[in-house]
Amino acid sequence: MLTELVGRSHVMKLKSLIAGVALALAIQTGRGQDSTSKPKENIFDTKPLGIQMSIKMDGPFMEPADLQIVCLFKHKTSGDTYQGAAKETDEKLNGVLSGLRNRGEFIGELGETILITPAKGTIPARRFMVIGLGEEKDLSLDTLREVGRIATREAVRLKASHVAWAPVIRDEGNTSIEVGAGDRAFAEQMVSAYDTEKRLQAQGFAPEFSIETFVIQAGPAFFDSAVKQVGEGIASEMSQISRRDTSPYTPATK
């Protein structure tokens, strides 16, 4: 009888120990999921022209934006490079990006755009835009500045309140421009172009509309540099904007 009681006690202790370990593992797993469920994001303290701008560590296939924008080089007949986020985005869009390029229906000339409505269940963005970068050999900071202006004007034209942009230049195999520097060039001209849009609206030359959030997407290796340089770029551009001519674009009419 005593042996039986001791045996039962041992089994109960063992069950209790197993349950405790299972609970600890469950808590630890839950903590791990919580820490990875939300991508790292730096939201800038300043809200230039009313826009909440941020650098976010996610990809163009992850953001629930009204408008998701990426850039692609001019199509190469020898074959375009898709790796990392560029490859995964094309795959999640069921190959529409590579299909358009391989058929010569989206060339990717500098400033060329194409707008896609993602199929249900592919990516969370409502609309997806590609802006051409032109010939890869000609890539420069001025290229990214032009893309910044185009992205802003297209977002306003499409009335996209929540916008995200991923350059995916590294994911096309190009390393000629430091990512933070390219993001800064883009952000500066994005803010500059948006200021012009708001001035046109204020003077009755365009319908009222405001972008609420603008996310610049960056991979883990480039996140800190993007935060630093985009922050500096925003401050510099806002200083330039404060010195702009504030007089009307046209003479007052009687």
State the DSSP string of 151-200. Answer: HHHHHHHTT-SEEEEE---GGGT--SS-HHHHHHHHHHHHHHHHHHHHHH
32 and 100 in a common domain: no
Domain shared by 4 and 80, yes or no: no
pLDDT in single tens digits along all 254 residues of the chain: 434 433 444 444 434 433 443 333 333 333 333 445 789 999 999 999 999 999 999 999 999 999 999 999 999 999 999 999 999 999 999 999 999 999 999 999 999 999 999 999 999 999 999 999 999 999 999 999 999 999 999 999 999 999 999 999 999 999 999 999 999 999 999 999 999 999 999 999 999 999 999 999 999 999 999 999 999 999 999 999 999 999 999 987 54
Q: How far is CA 134 from CA 129, 142, 143, in A?
A: 16, 12, 8
Q: Is 247 within the bounds of a domain?
A: no
Q: pLDDT digit string (tens) for 141-195?
A: 999 999 999 999 999 999 999 999 999 999 999 999 999 999 999 999 999 999 9
Same domain, 51 and 85: yes
| 130: in domain | yes
Take residue 119 and report the two structure tokens written for it.
């199929």
User: How many structural domains is the chain composed of?
Assistant: 2
Residue 98: how many other CB atoms lie within 10 Å = 18
Give me the residues paired with residue 56 across strands.
41, 217
Please report the sign of the dihedral spanned by the C-alpha atoms of residue 181, residue 186, residue 188, residue 191. negative
Q: If you count them, how many residues does the chain have?
A: 254
Q: Is residue 18 part of a domain?
A: yes
Regarding whether 110 and 21 lie in a shared domain, the answer is no
Q: Does residue 105 lie in a domain region?
A: yes
CATH of the domain at 54: 3.40.220.10
**Nearest by Cα to 73 from 131, 133, 115:** 133
Three-class secondary structure of residue 202 per DSSP: helix
Q: Is residue 232 domain-shared with residue 146, that is, in the same domain?
A: yes
**How many angstroms separate the Cα of 46 from the Cα of each of 51, 151, 183, 192, 212?**
9, 21, 17, 15, 13
Annotate 111-122 with DSSP letters as a single string: T-EEEE-PPTTT
The dihedral built from the CA positions of residue 198, 200, 203 and 204, taken in this order, carries a sign that is negative
Q: Do 182 and 114 share a structural domain?
A: yes
Segments forming the whole domain that contains residue 24? 1-37
Residues 2 and 57 in one domain: no
Query: What is the value of pTM for the model shown?
Result: 0.84
For residue 219, with 0-12 CB atoms within 10 Å meaning exposed, 13-18 middle and 19 or more buried, which class applies?
A: middle
